[in-house]
A and B are shown apart, each in its own frame.
Chain A
């Protein structure tokens, strides 16, 4: 069972000009990966971790990140409206 946890959070510039949050996950073997979250996903992540500041995310488990990303992605699935 993987025990990856959030080890670092940093504000970054997404290539489309929005601010995004780079979340670094640290795995048990010492390997790291970086996941970028948009504003919506960050909101879900902070809520699910009960964090009030970005630094409050540190030490939280990877599944919070998975679920936040999934929630952020799924918000588009049932919207039939074409963007204009």
Chain B
């Protein structure tokens, strides 16, 4: 008698090899058989018509705060993600002295847009060390967590205010090394640093005040453990990105560590630049270095409201001028004046293709809620007007707090992005899950990978897409016994329907402590998600077992 059997599905085992028909049997937290399983089980899942794959691993997230009140990292788990890596971009919530808490809350507010109130109402501050933080999040953990420790935070712990004033002394560097060792001993999966991020005052984060000597000293500690170094390079400039990846390559070779940098975007105007970056990545891999670029699957959307000037309008002088110089009342009056409207409409005409596609994503009044999620074309039809006029009318009705979204404005050349996603030396990731929560949804990138690049465009096979976000990720990050469906491996499994899997529509929900909001996307086409042999989420019953662990350490579970 097995604990769990998934029957009749097509197994995509994470190796990249072709899918095959088989049953998968689980005992305790491990896969014990893949093939024909005539024996009964305590729990059975019928996966007819579905794919049975290893659970997905998301290597670039900022779920650090959310894990304090939500051990499922919702909605990541429901999308089939069974392991997340928080603590990216030089920021983690530990180690953290009590006196630095409010500074770090400010930094998380800047990076994640996590409101102050959520920390006040959702968090009991009962940790300082990394080990105490791990103990804290382990309670009720349903998703696996491979946490990075942030360089900025280690720097703050050791140097206090001087962390954003100067380079470190030899003694301070030695202390940072021993703090990093403690974090790695307590379960950190590696170290993150950033050359781009800003703190709560929009000034450089502490890690940017470190010289190369300090980074190398920390990398040498990572070498003792064979753990990962993640960085955010100046991704907007290919020469800078290449200089950073060269630095990473030297550290990787000298200390035998895997390194990864994120993000890397592919836009129409930077194709040559990305090709140069990838050529350098290839050369460094040829030397034996590990310098994994992370590429996200989803395109970049632009959002705006008329309460803040947006460069989207900078080619339309009348629009831009009123956005720049008008008070909210003046803008509303301007939009309501019939003569101005004629001028505005004429000026907007060159982008006739764009306006109908804009989506209304947020309004304040109840009366207009019915339009949220609809395009301006749809709204214009319902209101018997034109898209541009609907945009102005809604803005006036909402006191300028009507928010619009222009989808797929960046990282949007499908063929070229697919070329990157398929590249053997590209790491699929960089979702930023749990960050930017008030601006857009950072969830569902795996659904988008399968719906868009695999199903709709046929630019990737389902086997290679699965491999990229499971066994490749586990191998890059040194996460043992996960990322593949094989007898003896730990049972982290995603069962999904290849004909319907997708990221859901973006929606604004109220599920952040302290009455806070965020943008999310529900999962679509995911049937069941198994973590450590337990059903963590199913479409039928929602969130269930909490068997998440802190990785890469493996704790043996006693079979039920």
Given contacts A22-B269, A34-B237, contact A16 B301 (CB under 8 A): no
Best-surrounded residue of A18, A35, A43 (most CB of chain B within 10 A):
A18
Interface hits, A32-56 → B, CB 8 Å: 33-36, 38-39, 42-43, 52-54
Of residues 253 through 277 on chain B, the ones whose CB sits less than 8 Å from some CB of chain A are 263, 265, 267, 269-270, 273
Residue numbers in A under 8 Å from B203 (CB-CB): 76-77
A14 to B265, CA, bound (A): 10
Are B202 and A83 in contact, CB atoms less than 8 angstroms apart?
yes
Residues of B within 8 A of A29 (CB): none
A19 B304 Cβ-Cβ under 8 A: yes
Query: Hey, which chain A residues are within 8 Å of B317, CB to CB?
Result: 52-53
Name the residue on B nearest A75 (C-beta).
B202
Asked, given contacts A17-B301, A19-B302, whether A39 binds B311 with beta carbons under 8 Å apart, the answer is: yes
Cα distance A17–B432 when bound, in Å? Answer: 13
With most chain B CB atoms within 10 A of its CB, the pick from A21, A39, A52 is A39
Known pairs A34-B237, A83-B109; A21 contacts B439 (CB<8 A): no
Tell me if B19 counts as interface (CB < 8 A to partner A): no
User: Which interface residue of A21, A34, A77 has the most chain B CB atoms within 10 A?
Assistant: A34
Is A71 part of the binding interface, using a Cβ–Cβ cutoff of 8 Å? no
**A2 at interface (Cβ–Cβ under 8 A)?**
no
Q: Are B310 and A39 in contact (CB under 8 A)?
A: yes
The answer to whether B236 has its CB under 8 Å from any CB of chain A is: yes
With A11-B315, A12-B269 already in contact, the answer to whether A18 and B310 are too (CB < 8 A) is yes
Inter-subunit contact B436/A17 (CB<8 Å): yes
Are B324 and A17 within 8 A (Cβ)? Answer: no
Interface 1/0 per residue, B100-111 and A, CB below 8 Å: 000000100110
Q: Which of B200, B202, B265, B311 contacts A15 (CB 8 A)?
A: B265
**Contact between B301 and A19 (Cβ–Cβ < 8 Å)?**
no
Whether A15 lies near B263 (C-beta < 8 A) is yes
Set A10, A21, A83: member contacting B200, Cβ < 8 A: A83
Q: Which of B13-41 contact A (CB under 8 A)?
A: none
Q: Are A11 and B202 in contact (CB under 8 A)?
A: no
Residue of B nearest to A40 (CB): B309
16 contacts between A and B (CB under 8 A): A10-B269, A12-B409, A13-B411, A14-B300, A15-B235, A17-B300, A17-B302, A19-B310, A19-B312, A20-B311, A34-B237, A35-B236, A43-B324, A83-B109, A83-B110, A84-B109
6 extra interface residue pairs, beta carbon distance < 8 Å, beyond A35-B237, A83-B106 = A11-B315, A17-B303, A18-B310, A34-B237, A53-B315, A54-B315
